[in-house]
């Protein structure tokens, strides 16, 4: 019933937000890393009248040239790496779409050249790299936004609105994460599963979304201590890959985690219980729940965790002394899409000198938690988290 009502109400809404873009100045944009996700970036840039894609770079010879040709964008100057591109071009902005392990060097190089950066998630592999990125950003005075498109999903905005409204009272416990029964990402090769390219596995791919969903809603409280665990029982098993129609040799290359969990004490007396899986013998490791002194919110997990909601959210609370549930129907996106908004909001900040839409000051905390889980897991004990001053 709620779904039908929603559809009826949706019919009265505008199908797209009217957006005025100043086309008097064209932004010169470059793309660093011309792989899978770069395809989503170029598709959105092509929809924007104030963008000129002038340069691209990829380490693999010929890959950048083929990428722009296949995407129907002409007269793009192609380079063999980020440094040669940034040394030779006058750019307003770049998308850093490289694998995780080169996020920091590419972002820092661009910021040092005075170029604003839209950096794909995760921000980096380690906390130390994230700190260096933030310092380069501060020195440059340019815009740095991290590529968390679920931030623009109306359902994620609703999670934040509910928490910020005080409807739940004081939040004291959060369970978040997600998982896939079978979902180690090797669609176009092994850059997600090798330490030398990805650095981190399920946490950097999908875990960072779960963390952002709850931490953004709470205003990104800092982590104090972390007890972490990680494992790789599926990725290191050749039978996993052959059952997926992939080469058994992928198991030898698999050098990141396919499962991680963390018990994190956050400032403000909040506890965060996190788990993320690329593969497991289970449908889901659980919904996201945010428990508060006045009410609790349940956010159903998707079967294949990807940073969106898997069904209507529910608030469990008391009304007139009775225990009741309020259902929040799934909200539909009437904009040009989350990915478009992630890029548009970044470019608007570049043009207007505004605030970063997904700021490093928040995402460094996301990265500190991932980094803390890695370090705690390797040490086999709880660690104290210290985020250096920027």
Ligand X SMILES: NC(=O)c1ccc[n+]([C@@H]2O[C@H](COP(=O)([O-])OP(=O)(O)OC[C@H]3O[C@@H](n4cnc5c(N)ncnc54)[C@H](O)[C@@H]3O)[C@@H](O)[C@H]2O)c1
Binding site for ligand X (CB under 6 A): 32-38, 57-60, 63, 81-82, 97-100, 102, 106, 120-121, 147, 149, 188, 191, 204-205
Neighbours of 355 (CB within 10 A): 10
- Tokens (6 digits) for 104: 């920091």
Shortest Cβ 205–ligand X spacing (Å): 6
Between 149 and 176, CB nearer to ligand X: 149
Between 116 and 175, CB nearer to ligand X: 116
Contact of 313 with 159, CB cutoff 8 Å: yes
CA–centroid distance for 385 within its chain: 21
- Spatial distance between the Cα atoms of 206 and 204, rounded to a whole number of angstroms: 6
DSSP secondary structure of 242-305: HHTTS-TTHHHH--S-SEEEEEEEETTTEEEEEEEESB-SSS-S--EEEEESSEEEEEPPPSS-
Shortest Cβ 148–ligand X spacing (Å): 7
Per-residue CA distances from 52 to 17, 45, 48, 79 (Å): 23, 8, 9, 17
Shortest Cβ 375–ligand X spacing (Å): 20
Between 241 and 270, CB nearer to ligand X: 241
- Find tokens 């982590």 and name the residue: 223
Please count the residues of the chain.
Answer: 390
Shortest Cβ 260–ligand X spacing (Å): 15
DSSP secondary structure of 75-87: S-EEESSHHHHHH
Between 57 and 143, CB nearer to ligand X: 57
Question: Which residue has the closest beta carbon to ligand X?
Answer: 35
Q: E strand or H helix at 346, and its extent?
A: helix 338-352
Between 64 and 232, CB nearer to ligand X: 64
Between 103 and 265, CB nearer to ligand X: 103
Shortest Cβ 301–ligand X spacing (Å): 18
Shortest Cβ 182–ligand X spacing (Å): 18
Shortest Cβ 106–ligand X spacing (Å): 5
- Spatial distance between the Cα atoms of 194 and 33, rounded to a whole number of angstroms: 17
Between 198 and 261, CB nearer to ligand X: 198
């Amino acid at each position: 019933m709620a779904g039908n009502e929603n559809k009826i109400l949706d019919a009265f809404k505008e199908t797209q937000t009217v957006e005025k873009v100043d086309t008097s100045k064209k932004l010169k944009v470059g793309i660093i890393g011309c792989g899978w996700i770069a395809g989503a970036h170029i598709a959105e840039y092509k929809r924007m009248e104030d963008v000129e894609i002038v340069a691209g770079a990829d380490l693999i010879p010929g890959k950048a040239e083929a990428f722009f040709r296949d995407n129907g964008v002409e007269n793009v100057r192609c380079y063999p790496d980020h440094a040669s591109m940034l040394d030779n071009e006058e750019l307003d902005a770049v998308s850093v779409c490289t694998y995780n392990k080169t996020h920091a060097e590419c972002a820092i190089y661009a910021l040092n050249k005075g170029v604003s950066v839209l950096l794909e998630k995760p921000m980096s592999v380690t906390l130390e790299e994230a700190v260096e990125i933030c310092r380069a950003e501060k020195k440059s005075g340019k815009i740095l936004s991290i590529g968390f498109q679920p931030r623009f999903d109306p359902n994620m905005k609703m999670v934040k609105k509910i928490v910020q409204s005080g409807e739940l009272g004081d939040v004291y416990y959060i369970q978040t994460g997600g998982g896939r029964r079978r979902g180690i990402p090797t669609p176009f090769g092994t850059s997600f599963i090798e330490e030398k390219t990805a650095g981190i596995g399920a946490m950097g791919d999908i875990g960072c979304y779960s963390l952002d969903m709850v931490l953004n809603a709470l205003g990104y409280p800092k982590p104090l201590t972390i007890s972490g665990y990680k494992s790789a029982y599926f990725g290191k098993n050749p039978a996993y890959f052959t059952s997926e129609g992939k080469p058994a040799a992928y198991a030898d290359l698999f050098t990141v985690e396919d499962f991680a969990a963390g018990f994190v004490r956050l400032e403000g007396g909040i506890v965060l219980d996190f788990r993320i899986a690329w593969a497991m013998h289970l449908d889901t490791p659980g919904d996201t729940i945010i428990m508060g002194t006045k009410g609790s919110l349940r956010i159903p997990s998707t079967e294949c965790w990807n940073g969106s909601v898997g069904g209507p959210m529910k608030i469990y609370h008391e009304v007139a002394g009775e225990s009741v549930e309020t259902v929040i129907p799934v909200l539909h996106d009437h904009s040009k899409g989350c990915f478009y908004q992630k890029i548009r909001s970044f470019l608007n900040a570049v043009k207007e000198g505004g605030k970063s839409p997904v700021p490093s000051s928040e995402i460094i905390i996301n990265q500190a938690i991932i980094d803390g889980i890695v370090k705690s897991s390797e040490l086999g004990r709880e660690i104290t988290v210290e985020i250096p001053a920027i």
